[in-house]
Amino acid sequence: MATLTVRYDIPVPRFVYGFVYNGEETELAALKETMRKAAIKAGMDTETWLQSVVIHAPKVLPNAAPDIQLGVNSAVTAWLLDLSAGHPTQHGTIGEFLNDCDFLVTITKVADGEISCAVQATPGCAGSA
């Protein structure tokens, strides 16, 4: 089991937040299915709904109850699993490499419908850039 460390480090307006996800491959599939159902309930396609959660997290998380924080963290994690692992020659997503590699993802911008982030994998990992 590998670790996915997630950090929000947004300079303007200042927002710093982080969490760690540890999960097995079977848990990843269940997480993605749960998020798919939540998106359907919200009347949106999964990718659009997850992006919306990632974008709105800085507004929601500071005063959120623990169960809301957990839900937002889960949605952010599900969104991150489909990001490129960042390797220049061995293409794949974070989710595809997560069983073998630890990742740090730092989200640096969520404005105007745009999300910017940096992905770093364990040195020597197939997913490391």
Alpha-carbon distance values, 52 to 48, 69, 109 (Å): 6, 15, 13
Alpha-carbon distance values, 106 to 32, 65, 67, 73, 102 (Å): 21, 23, 23, 14, 13
Give the pLDDT of residue 97. 85
Please name the residue ranges forming H helices in 42-128. 46-60, 66-81, 94-97
Mean pLDDT by 10 residues, the chain (129 residues): 90 93 84 94 95 95 95 96 81 86 93 91 61
Query: φ and ψ at 32, to 5 degrees?
Result: -65, -35
Count of CA atoms in the C-beta half-sphere (13 A) of 119:
24
Parse the chain into domains and list their residue ranges. Answer: 3-121
Give the pLDDT of residue 126. 52
